[in-house]
């Protein structure tokens, strides 16, 4: 009977083109898109898109510009805008991840003269990771390519303390200039030796992405497969299988074996794409790779089957209760009961949080609250109940793939967030997958 349950799931999978696509094609496509976005397509470091604007136009600032452009870890674009407001608009549109505006000379100011920060960093809240990367790279480039400028500013600080005079400062500045002219590195510019744990030329960051995306899709695919328990119960197939020797336990074991094998195949496809496109090495470690894939797949299958077994039990109890109280419950009444039940949990937790149920008297807060209650909760739950009543549960769950594309589109229309070509491609893949799943 374990083999029979395994064979039933295998036949159901190969006959359903939508399920085949979502199980073996979509995970690999999503991985490739994520890897291209978050790894900078090539290399083992995140390459942010840095915008540069030199408003000072001095020899020192030009040295910094050229040093940043030569940095292989950055993708640099010189911005044509000549005012800070225009550069802020450029970052807001998403043309660059972050921008550095050099508005005055980097050399130390004369003692007693008023000064402002020579560099302005324009950041976007949507690209939070770009800010620390840009600041770190700027500091590194200053230390390596412009150490004389860094030291001159340190000497200027010492001069303001009164420990040295103008003559001593001039002497030190001249010594720094001679050192730079000889192209001899300053000792503090090479204090750190870098050693990497990377093996060969493989992209280690992509290996991490492959593992993370594999784990996510294994959980999702296992949940989708385990949900066949509910569909088989609705069609009567589960009753016929349970009538055989072994009962429900044997059926669950058969599904567990199938989902584990399916998970190993999914992981193999994702890591094969990682090996072909990004040079991730699997060969020397294939025994450990297979064992890890089997264990993670088994864990995902176990969690999914446990959740769906609980769901089947809940559906059974709900069916018995429905037959006792009435077959056709009103959707509004059903949704109301769900919200009342949720309040029984949420209200005590809110009271224990310290802030209580007080809502600030601010229009944006109330608008956000109205959207969350009326649209996300009331309308969302009613729509979900209608879809479940009209179609299969698996088809309804496939619509969850549309949540990220719809959210990104709303952010673009309402808040001016930028959409890249890769993001649009990912949205298209998700939409096509959902369409195929619901049509099949």
Asked if 142 and 150 count as a contact pair (C-beta separation under 8 A), the reply is yes
Instruction: Please report the domains of the chain, with CATH numbers, ordered by start residue.
Output: 1-43+202-327 (no CATH), 48-190 (3.40.190)
CA count, 13 A, side-chain hemisphere, 197? 2
56 versus 281: which is more confidently predicted? 56
Residue 125 is predicted with a pLDDT of 84
Q: How much is the pTM?
A: 0.49
pLDDT, tens digit (0-9, with 9 covering 90-100), for 189-239: 566 666 666 655 556 677 777 888 888 888 877 777 767 666 666 666 656
- Cα 357 to chain center, whole Å? 32
Residue 172 is predicted with a pLDDT of 72
Residue 403 is predicted with a pLDDT of 75
pLDDT, tens digit (0-9, with 9 covering 90-100), for 13-24: 777 777 777 778
Report residue 42's pLDDT band, with 50, 70 and 90 as the boundaries.
very low
How far apart (Å, rounded) are the C-alpha atoms in residues 68 and 172? 26
pLDDT at residue 79 greater than cutoff 90: yes
Report residue 41's pLDDT band, with 50, 70 and 90 as the boundaries.
very low
**What count of residues does the chain have?**
440
What order of strands is seen across the sheet that includes strand 119-122? 74-78, 48-54, 98-102, 119-122
């Amino acid at each position: 009977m374990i083999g029979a349950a395994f064979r039933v799931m295998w036949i159901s999978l190969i006959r359903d083109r939508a399920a085949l696509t979502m199980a073996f094609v979509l995970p690999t496509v999503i991985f490739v898109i994520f890897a291209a976005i978050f790894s900078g397509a090539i290399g083992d470091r995140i390459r942010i898109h840095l915008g540069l604007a030199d408003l000072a136009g001095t020899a020192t600032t030009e040295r910094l510009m050229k040093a940043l452009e030569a940095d292989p870890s950055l993708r640099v674009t010189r911005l044509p805008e000549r005012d800070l407001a225009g550069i802020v608009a450029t970052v807001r549109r998403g043309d660059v991840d972050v921008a550095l505006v050099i508005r005055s000379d980097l050399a130390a100011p004369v003692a007693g003269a008023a000064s402002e920060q020579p560099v302005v960093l324009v950041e976007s809240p949507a690209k939070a990771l770009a800010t620390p990367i840009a600041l770190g790279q700027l500091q590194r480039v200053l230390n390596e390519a412009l150490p004389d400028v860094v030291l001159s500013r340190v000497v200027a600080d010492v001069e303001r303390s009164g420990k040295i005079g103008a003559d001593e400062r001039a002497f030190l500045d001249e010594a720094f200039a001679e050192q730079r002219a000889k192209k001899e590195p300053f000792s503090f510019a090479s204090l750190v030796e870098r050693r990497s744990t990377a093996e060969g030329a493989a992209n280690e960051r992509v290996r991490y992405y492959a593992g993370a995306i594999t784990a996510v899709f294994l959980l999702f695919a296992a949940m989708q497969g385990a949900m066949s328990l509910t569909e088989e119960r609705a069609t009567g197939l589960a009753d016929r299988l349970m009538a055989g020797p072994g009962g429900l336990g044997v059926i669950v074991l058969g599904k567990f074996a199938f989902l584990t094998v399916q998970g190993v195949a999914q992981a193999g496809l994702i890591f094969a794409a990682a090996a072909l496109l990004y040079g991730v090495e699997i060969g020397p470690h294939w025994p450990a790779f297979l064992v890890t894939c089997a264990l993670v797949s088994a864990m995902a299958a176990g969690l999914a089957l446990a959740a769906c077994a609980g769901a089947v039990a809940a559906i059974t109890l709900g069916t018995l209760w429905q037959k006792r109280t009435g077959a056709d419950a009103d959707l509004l009444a059903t949704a109301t009961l769900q919200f009342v039940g949720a309040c029984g949990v949420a209200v005590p937790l809110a009271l224990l949080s310290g802030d209580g149920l007080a809502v600030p008297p601010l229009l944006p807060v109330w608008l956000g609250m109205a959207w969350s209650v009326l649209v996300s909760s009331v309308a969302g739950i009613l729509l979900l109940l209608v879809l479940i009543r009209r179609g299969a549960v698996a088809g309804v769950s496939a619509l969850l793939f549309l949540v990220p594309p719809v959210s990104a589109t709303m952010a673009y229309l309402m808040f001016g967030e930028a959409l890249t070509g890769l993001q649009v491609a990912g949205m298209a893949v998700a939409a096509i997958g959902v369409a195929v799943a619901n049509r099949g």
